Amino acid sequence: MKKWILAAAISIAISGCAHDVKTSSSLPQGVTLIETVGVSDAVSIPYKKYLLENGLTVILHQDNSDPLVHVDVTYHVGSAREVEGRSGFAHLFEHMMFQGSQHVGDEQHFKVVTEAGGTLNGTTNTDRTNYFETVPSNQLEKMLWLESDRMGFLLPALTSEKFEVQRETVKNERAQRIDNQPYGRLNERFNQAMFPEGHPYSWPVIGWPEDLERATVDDVRNFFKRWYGPNNATLTIGGDFDEMQTLAMVNKYFGELARGPEVKADPKTPVTLDETRYISMEDKVHLPLIYMGFPTVYARHEDEAALDLLANILGGGKTSLLYKNLVKDGFAVQASVGHPCQELSCRLTLYALANPASGTDLAKLEQKINDSIVEFEQRGVTDDDLQKVKVQFEADTIYGMQSVKGKVSTLAYNQTFFDNPNMVASDLARYASVTKEDVMRVFKTYIKDKPMVVMSVVPEGAKQLIAKEDNFTPVTQSVADVAVTGTENVRQITSSFDRTVMPKAGAAPVLKVPKLWNASLANGIEVMGTENHETPTVELLIYLDGGNRLPEIEKAGVASLTASMLNESSQKRTTEELAGALEMLGSSISFGATSTQSYIQVSSLTENLTPTLAILQEKLFSPGFVEADFERLKQQEIQGLQHQESDPNYLARRAFSGLLFGEDTHFSVQASGSVATVSALTLDDVKQFYQTQYKAGNAQMVLVSDLPQQQVMSELSVLEKWQGSANKAEALPTFPTLAGGTIYVIDKPGAAQSVIKIGKRALPYDATGEYFKSFLMNYPLGGAFNSRINLNLREDKGYTYGARTGFNGNDVIGRFEATASVRTDVTAESVTEFVNEIKRFQAEGMTDKELAFMRSSISQGKALEYETPYQKAGFMRMIQRYQLADDFTEQQADIVATISKDELNELAKAQLDLSSMIMVIVGDKTVISPKLEALGYPIKEIK
C-alpha cells in the first residue's frame, strides 16, 4: 500500500509543479522563501513556505485539478490562551471576526464570499482559531483582501453594539449545542475533573456562561491586540493559482500589517491524578452513559502513536475488546475508546452507553470495561492488531488528499503546532515503526493501575445508576483581575493604499464537469462512472429503490434493521472476521437505508479493489442473518429511538412530518422506524425484506475511480450473478388537510431553547422546473447565511444561532420549511419575525440587488461542486435517479442567468402562502405559552 500513497503524492506533486519555478531573487520585496517540498522519495504534500517581514508564515500548495482555491488563516490562539474566570474569549472573538472591519462593511464578509460562489467558516478549539474560504480560483484576491482587513483593521469597526449581538449569538450557540442536547455538558464537566485548577483545558472552549457575562468590549479588543498579529498566524493557500501573482497579492495585502506581541508556546506540563475521581450528573437522557479517561502525553509525543494503537485495540470498532465484551454481549448499545490529542495534553478515553434491557447499571459497566483492560494485558498485542491500524492510518492519509481543503488543513496544522508543514511522511513512519513492545510499554506507563476520571451521566431521577458516589468537586474558579495582558505596544497602522476598493474578480474559470460514461452489467444494472486520477481510490455507491417506502407502514424500520444485519456476519465469516478483513485492506463497506432507498457504499484503495469486492459479494449474497445479531441490533435500535425522545430537534421533525403527511404514511416515519414498529419486527421480517429489496432490478450504481471504464467494469462483473426484477412503484397515499395558521406545541419542560418549524407540503424535486426555480426564489429569503431570515433573527435580534428557510423534495413529495432553535424567552417574538419576513417576501418579492446576489452566488458556486470523489458520485446519482440530461447543470446555469425577477416573485406569491402553513414548536410550555397565546393563532398541544 505504501507504493500507492507514494504514487498519490507524486501525482499531486507533479500537478503542484506545473507552473514555472521562480528563483528567490524574483520574489516580492520583504518575502523570503523558507523551503520547497516537491517531488521526492518521501510521501508528502508539495508546497512552498515563505515568511513575510512582519512574521506571517505563508504556505502555497498548487493543485490545478479543479478551478478553485482554499484559503486558510490559522491563528495560534484558542481557549488555552485565556485566563481563569475569563473563558470564552477565543470563541467569542471568532464570531466578532465576521462582523466587518474598517474597510469591509457590517455583515459583508459572508455576503462577499457567498456572492463569489464560495463557502466559508471559522472554528475555535483549545489551541487554535482558523478562518477559511473555498472559492472559484478567480476570487482569490478578494479573499486575501477580506482576510487581511480583519487581521489588520478589525478594531475600528468593533462596536459595543456588535459585541452585544455576538455575545447573545454565542449564548444561543451554547444553548443549542450544549444545554439543549443530551449529554451536552459531559465534556466540560469531565475536563474540570481531568485537569488541575487553572489548567487551560479545564474550562470549555465556548466559555462558562458567567464568564461571557462579565466580558467587556475592551476585553475583546485587547484579546485581538494580543493574539491576532501576523507573527502568530499561518496563511495557507491551496488550489489553482499562479504562484508569483499570488505572492505579490499576499505581500500587498498582508505585508504592511504591523507585527503583534511576541508569542511563546505554553508549557506542556504532564497531567497527573492523585486518585481515581468519580463525578456524576443527571440529564434529560434515556440511556445511562459512563465516560472514563486517563491522562497520557501531548500531541506528537514519542508515545502518542503507540497509545493510538492501544486505543484502537481496546475499542476501535467491531474487532475490539470493548465491542466484544460490552456491545456484542448486549451490555451496552455503544462502546468505544479513543486517544484525542491536543497541543498540551492527550488522554485515553473509554465510554459506553448502557443497554437498559440488560439491567446493567454503570457500576457493572465500569467493571466490564476494567475487565476488558485486564484481558488486554493477558492477551497482549497481535501482529494483526498492529497491521490493521497501520493500514488504516495509511488509507486515511490517501483519503485526506481527496480535497484541497484536506491538504491545506494538514499543512496549516503541522506548521502552526510544529513549525513544519512537511510531516505526512514522518507521521506514517512513526506509526509504521510502532512495535508490540511499544504498545505494552505505554499501557503499563499510562493505563495499568493508574488513576482516572470516571463520569456517570444518568436520566433525571436515576441517581442509583451511577458507577460510584462522587468523590470530587471542582473548586470555585478564581477570576483574573485582567482578562488580557501584553498589549501595551500594539499600534494601528494606516494603509498605504485604498482598502475600501474591493478587488475585482479575475477571468471566470473554466468549469471542469466530470466526463461521464454509462454502461450496464450483464444482468441489466446501470452503471454511471467517471475517471479520476487525483488519488488511487475507488468510490462505489449502489442504490436500491425502496427503502422505508417499500414495506407496509406497520413494519417501518425494517429497511434500516436489514441494512444493519448486512453489516454483520455472513454465512462464511463472523462480523469480527469480516471487519478485520476490511481493516487489513484499508477498505469500508457500509449498508444503509433512507426513507426512499437502501444503499451500499464501498470505499477502497484501487490496489485492493478485487478483494474488497469479494467481501461485498459475501456480505450481499450470503448474509448470516444470525438470530443473536438480530436481537442485539433490534435492541440497540429500540434504545436509540427512545434516546431520540430526549432530543427536541427529533421531536420537532417527527411531529412536523406527521402533520404534513399523516401519521399512517411512510413519509411521516423516519427510516429507522418507531419504537412500536421496531419492537414488533422479527428476523423473518428482515429476511423477507432482504428478498424484496436487494434485487438487481432495484439497483443502480455510480462509481468514481482512477481505473479506465473497461477495467473497472471487468472488476464489477463479479456482481453479474445478482438477479431479481424491480418492484412496482407504490401509489401515493392521500395526505391530510393542513390546519393552516395553527401552532402545535410539544412540551419539553426545562428546555434551554425552543425549536420552531413553520411550513407546508410543497413541490417534489425537479432539476429545471418549478422546484428548482423555487430554490432560486427562496435564496435571499432564507437560503444563505446573509438571507433576510438569518440576518434578522441572528445578527439583528440575537434570538438564535441560525435560522433558515428552504424547499426540500424527492421524486414524489416535497416540503417548504422555515426553522430555527431560539431562546426560550423570545419564542413568540421569533414566530412573529418569521411570519413578518415570509409575508413581506411573498407580497413584495426580492429586490434587484438580491436577484444579482443570487445569480452570482449560485452560478459561480458550480466551480466547487465536483472536487472530491464523493461529490462526483453525488452529481452522477442525481442524473441517474431523476433521469436527467448529462448537461442539466448547463440548463440550470441558463435559468439562473435569465430568469426574471417577476417570475421569481410570482413564485413567491404562489409558494409562500402563510395561511396554508402550520407551526410546530418544541419548548417549555409553561414559559412560552402566555406570549404564544397573545399572538392570536389557534394552539394545539401534541403529546
Report whether pLDDT(491) > 70.
yes
**Local structure of residue 175 (DSSP, 8 states):** I
Which of 358, 359, 288, 360 has the alpha carbon at shortest distance from 330?
A: 358
Q: Which residues contact 65 (CB under 8 A, 6 or more apart)?
A: 15, 240, 512, 534, 867
Q: Which domains does the chain have, with CATH numbers?
A: 2-186+197-254 (3.30.830.10), 277-401+418-465 (3.30.830.10), 516-719 (3.30.830.10), 743-941 (3.30.830.10)
Q: 137 phi and psi, to 5 degrees? A: -60, -25
841 — pLDDT class (breaks 50, 70, 90): very high
Q: In Å, how far from its chain's centre is CA 137?
A: 24
* Residue whose grid cell is 440530461: 885
- Of the listed ranges 69-83, 347-361, 437-451, the least confidently predicted one is 347-361
Locate 85 and state its grid cell. 474566570
Contact 91, 208 (CB under 8 A): no
* Residue whose grid cell is 444561532: 801
Cα angle 283, 289, 294 (rounded to 5 degrees) comes to 120
Integer-rounded Cα radius of gyration of the chain: 28
Mapping DSSP onto H, E and C, the string for 478-536 reads CCCCCCCCCCCCCCCCCCCCCCCCCCCCCCCCCCCCCCEEEEECCCCCEEEEEECCCCC
pLDDT (mean) for 825-846: 97
Cα–Cα dist 799/669, whole Å: 30
pLDDT for residue 694: 98
pLDDT for residue 18: 33
pLDDT (mean) for 667-683: 92
Which of 170, 176, 91 has the alpha carbon at shortest distance from 824?
A: 176
Burial of residue 683 (CB within 10 Å: 0-12, 13-18, 19+) is middle
Kindly provide the b/e burial profile for residues 662-682, where b requires at least 16 CB atoms within 10 angstroms of the residue's own CB: beebbbbbbbbbbbebbeebe
pLDDT for residue 521: 97
pLDDT (mean) for 558-574: 97
Locate 750 and state its grid cell. 426545562
Locate 98 and state its grid cell. 465576521
pLDDT for residue 236: 98
- Give helix 848-861 / helix 888-898 axis angle, nearest 10°: 160
Report whether pLDDT(527) > 90.
yes
670 — pLDDT class (breaks 50, 70, 90): confident
Locate 627 and state its grid cell. 438470530
Tell me what the pLDDT averaged over the chain comes to: 92
pLDDT for residue 224: 92
pLDDT (mean) for 812-835: 96
39 — pLDDT class (breaks 50, 70, 90): low
pLDDT for residue 3: 30
pLDDT for residue 11: 32
Cα–Cα dist 617/611, whole Å: 10
Contact 88, 206 (CB under 8 A): yes
pLDDT (mean) for 525-549: 93
886 — pLDDT class (breaks 50, 70, 90): confident
Cα–Cα dist 821/177, whole Å: 10
**Local structure of residue 47 (DSSP, 8 states):** E
**Sheet containing strand 800-809, strands side by side:** 800-809, 814-823, 753-762, 918-923, 743-747, 939-941
Contact 210, 47 (CB under 8 A): no
pLDDT for residue 912: 97
Cα–Cα dist 4/224, whole Å: 44
The string of pLDDT tens digits covering residues 111-148 is 999 999 999 999 999 999 999 999 999 999 999 999 99
Locate 33 and state its grid cell. 522563501
Cα angle 99, 102, 106 (rounded to 5 degrees) comes to 30
pLDDT for residue 65: 87
β-pair partners for 235: 58, 73
pTM reported for the whole predicted model: 0.91
What is the signed CA dihedral for 367, 370, 372, 375, rounded to 10 degrees? -120
The string of pLDDT tens digits covering residues 763-798 is 999 999 999 999 999 999 999 999 999 999 998 999
41 — pLDDT class (breaks 50, 70, 90): low
Q: What is the amino acid identity at position 777?
A: M
H or E element, residue 349: strand 347-354
Q: What is the amino acid identity at position 245?
A: Q
15 — pLDDT class (breaks 50, 70, 90): very low
> How would you classify the pairing of strands 537-545 and 597-605?
antiparallel
Contact 519, 713 (CB under 8 A): yes
Report whether pLDDT(4) > 60.
no
pLDDT (mean) for 197-206: 94
Mapping DSSP onto H, E and C, the string for 850-890 reads HHHHHHHHHHHHHHHCCCCHHHHHHHHHHHHHCCCCCCHHH
pLDDT for residue 107: 84
441 — pLDDT class (breaks 50, 70, 90): very high
5 — pLDDT class (breaks 50, 70, 90): very low
Q: 595 phi and psi, to 5 degrees? A: -65, -20
pLDDT (mean) for 895-911: 97
Q: Three-state DSSP class for 296?
A: coil
Cα–Cα dist 291/398, whole Å: 32
Which of 568, 488, 10 has the alpha carbon at shortest distance from 261?
A: 488
The string of pLDDT tens digits covering residues 581-617 is 999 999 999 999 998 999 999 999 999 999 999 999 9
Cβ atoms within 10 Å, residue 883: 8
Cα–Cα dist 792/802, whole Å: 10
Could you report how far apart the first and last alpha carbons of the chain are, in Å? 56
- Of the listed ranges 42-46, 363-367, 605-609, 749-753, the least confidently predicted one is 42-46
Burial of residue 344 (CB within 10 Å: 0-12, 13-18, 19+) is buried
Q: Three-state DSSP class for 244?
A: helix
Tell me the percentage of the chain whose pLDDT exceeds 90.
78
What is the signed CA dihedral for 279, 284, 288, 291, rounded to 10 degrees? -40
Locate 740 and state its grid cell. 393552516
Cα–Cα dist 105/499, whole Å: 12
The string of pLDDT tens digits covering residues 713-753 is 999 999 999 999 999 888 888 999 999 999 999 999 999 89
Locate 46 and state its grid cell. 508539495
| Alpha-helix residue ranges (DSSP H) falling in 665-767 | 675-679, 683-693, 709-716
Which of 924, 608, 906, 904 has the alpha carbon at shortest distance from 783?
A: 904
Cα–Cα dist 260/77, whole Å: 13
pLDDT for residue 671: 87
Q: Three-state DSSP class for 833?
A: helix
What is the signed CA dihedral for 300, 303, 308, 311, rounded to 10 degrees? -140
Q: Which residues contact 438 (CB under 8 A, 6 or more apart)?
A: 303, 305, 306
Q: Sort residue 300 into left (φ over 0), alpha (ψ -120 to 50) or beta.
A: left
pLDDT for residue 40: 64
Tell me the percentage of the chain whose pLDDT exceeds 70.
97
Contact 540, 602 (CB under 8 A): yes
Contact 786, 850 (CB under 8 A): no
Can you give the length of the chain in residues? Answer: 943
| Alpha-helix residue ranges (DSSP H) falling in 359-483 | 362-379, 383-399, 404-418, 424-432, 436-442
Which of 129, 97, 89, 80 has the alpha carbon at shortest distance from 214?
A: 89
Q: Three-state DSSP class for 104?
A: strand
- Of the listed ranges 35-49, 149-163, 901-915, the least confidently predicted one is 35-49
> How would you classify the pairing of strands 233-239 and 57-62?
parallel
